[in-house]
Structure 1
Amino acid sequence: MPARSDRPARSSTASAAGKARARNGTAQRQANPTQRIVESITTAIVERRLMPGTKLAEQKIADVFKVSRTLVRQALNQLSRDRLVTLEPARGAFVARPSVAEARQVFEVRRLLEAEMIRRLAARITPAQVSGLREHLQREQAAVQRTDVPGRTRLLADFHVVLARLLGNDVLAEMLQDLLSRSSLISLMYQSAHSAEHSFDEHVAVVDALERRDANAAVRLMEHHLHNVERNLQLDPRVPDLQAALAPQAEPIDPTFEPVAPKRHRRATPA
């Protein structure tokens, strides 16, 4: 009788453990309304439903979640520490407007972290993990094809967090989640022209390299992907030449033209 493989059993156990962690996480969020507010605002930013500069009125948020303004203030303070919200004295809270310098720094950190992450993952990835990544790619593709902008935005970002979780490093996954939230803000701020279809194709290429356990190719592809995302952000807007900008709309002015001063009307003397 052929030896019975224990791979399905381990996979089932891992799946059950993952579901248990998800249930525990859900229970903790429900018991912590502040965290629920934080996650809801973060998700709205990632899915591009909240734009940079949007005012976050405490009372309106309190009404939406049916909580006190104190809890809302705690959530906004946490989001401020995560650099997703800006708190301005006497004005309130606003969705952050990241600077060009911050945008460059975020992508620099992402390249450093994700290059090493993908190198380590290529050395230890399992067939079951590759299958899980393929399933995620299928969801990405479906969202892209049906033009589900919030869905595809979330799934394209989650791809990077999923890779970190496959290493079993929760700290790395949390760091990447924060960086990806900030990346979403940066994309909103600087109007990324990078197509979702292109990002999806690059994700497929990364998974193909991981499946081959080709660490060098996987690192190169990930670096290329992040470079493309950053390159398609308008971080270096051209300063327009005033003459070039106005010349097409300006009509030649007659050099002999002299403006006529408007007539001044004398005020009537009171009788």
Structure 2
Amino acid sequence: MTASRKKTSKAQQTPAGTIVSAVAAAESSLPDSTQIIVAAITAAIIEHRLAPGAKLTEQKIAAIYGVSRTIVRQALFQLARDHLVTLEPARGAFVSQPSVEEAQQVFAVRRMLEQHLVEEFCEKAVASDFRALRAHLKQEQAVVSRVDVTGRTRLLGDFHVLMAERIGNHVLAQILSELISRCALITLMYQSSRAAQHSSDEHVNILKALEARDVAKAKALMEAHLLATESSLLYHPRTSSADLAQALGSYAA
């Protein structure tokens, strides 16, 4: 295994943080306080602690983190660029509310990218990569069985990002992490409560095909998995009124 592969393996010792870690890495050029706020709001969205349409008040966020509103504004601009936040003139910042059309487009892009991901994984994966995915699936099954909404949302998305990171395709991992962050918004608005267990079971079947190096079967299963996830969307938006300080509090600490 090359030095770069060893570095990747070490990074996967805590797969549950993959998406947020990828986002933080992508924003390495931003000031530290801005990075922290970007990562915290992203995590709150992924973990369904901030609902679509939730207002992100600059003054409140500045007070939570003990920073200036300028720092908060930088973070919100970055999140808007990543399509997680919508900035409205004279109204402020809100967690984005993806339309049905946007939801369909996001899943269409994921299907295209993840067909390539399956091919590359089958070609490059070594034994330690399969062990990492099996360990990840154990965590998935555990949180799904406990009806752990926060844990399952992150882990179900991380399975896909972890595949790309294990084979050293960090560009694809970053793109997928951004798309999956947007999917977290979409599923929060539209997904039925029974879909999580089905998604985890489908991951198990995908891994079996990958371990067999059956590219055609793995691609077919991945395509069916993403189509099934999309078909579980009810397209009737949900709302919630989670307190901003409560949603971000653990990260502020």
- Alignment TM class, shorter chain as reference: 0.7 to 0.9
Counterpart of 1:105, as a letter, is: Q
CA gap of 1:79–1:101, structure 2 versus 1, over 3 A, is same
Computing the radius of gyration over CA atoms, which structure comes out larger, 1 or 2? 1
Matches within 5 A, 1:204-215: 204-215=204-215
Structure 2 match to 1:104: 104
CA distance in 2, matches of 1:13, 1:98: 36
Matches within 5 A, 1:234-249: 234-235=234-235
Structure 1 match to 2:251: none
| Cα distance, 1:194 vs structure 2 | 4.5
**Cα deviation 1:184-237 (Å, max 9, x = unaligned):** 101112243442111111000011111111111110100000000000102489
Structure 2 match to 1:137: 137
| Cα distance, 1:12 vs structure 2 | 6.8
Structure 2 match to 1:252: none
Structure 2 match to 1:186: 186
Counterpart of 1:78, as a letter, is: Q
CA distance in 1, matches of 2:143, 2:188: 19
| Cα distance, 1:31 vs structure 2 | 6.3
Structure 2 match to 1:67: 67
CA gap of 1:215–1:191, structure 2 versus 1, over 3 A, is closer
CA distance in 2, matches of 1:233, 1:124: 33
CA gap of 1:48–1:143, structure 2 versus 1, over 3 A, is same
Which secondary structure does the structure 2 equivalent of 1:233 belong to? coil
CA distance in 1, matches of 2:80, 2:199: 29
Counterpart of 2:185, as a letter, is: L
CA distance in 1, matches of 2:207, 2:91: 46
Structure 1 length-normalised TM: 0.77
Q: Which runs of 5+ in 2 are unaligned?
A: 14-20, 238-253
Structure 1 match to 2:226: 226
| Cα distance, 1:13 vs structure 2 | 7.0
Counterpart of 1:202, as a letter, is: E
Structure 2 match to 1:161: 161
Which secondary structure does the structure 1 equivalent of 2:176 belong to? helix
1:51 and 2:51 correspond:
yes
Q: Which runs of 5+ in 1 are unaligned?
A: 1-6, 238-271
Contact 2:5 2:166 in 1 (8 A): no
**Cα deviation 1:153-178 (Å, max 9, x = unaligned):** 10011111001112211111110000
Structure 2 match to 1:255: none
Contact 1:121 1:167 in 2 (8 A): yes
Identity of aligned residues (%): 53
Contact 2:12 2:162 in 1 (8 A): no
CA distance in 1, matches of 2:30, 2:77: 19
CA distance in 2, matches of 1:191, 1:107: 13
Structure 2 match to 1:245: none
| Cα distance, 1:36 vs structure 2 | 1.0
CA gap of 1:130–1:85, structure 2 versus 1, over 3 A, is same
| Cα distance, 1:14 vs structure 2 | 6.1
CA gap of 1:85–1:17, structure 2 versus 1, over 3 A, is closer
Which secondary structure does the structure 1 equivalent of 2:83 belong to? coil
CA gap of 1:108–1:146, structure 2 versus 1, over 3 A, is same
Counterpart of 1:140, as a letter, is: E
Contact 2:85 2:95 in 1 (8 A): yes
CA distance in 2, matches of 1:98, 1:136: 29
CA distance in 2, matches of 1:109, 1:15: 27
**Cα deviation 1:63-99 (Å, max 9, x = unaligned):** 1111111010000001111111010111000000111
CA gap of 1:202–1:191, structure 2 versus 1, over 3 A, is closer
CA gap of 1:236–1:34, structure 2 versus 1, over 3 A, is closer
Structure 2 length-normalised TM: 0.82
CA gap of 1:170–1:149, structure 2 versus 1, over 3 A, is same
Which secondary structure does the structure 2 equivalent of 1:49 belong to? coil
Which secondary structure does the structure 2 equivalent of 1:107 belong to? helix
CA distance in 2, matches of 1:229, 1:92: 32
Task: Provide the aligned C-alpha RMSD in A.
Answer: 2.5
Contact 1:144 1:152 in 2 (8 A): yes
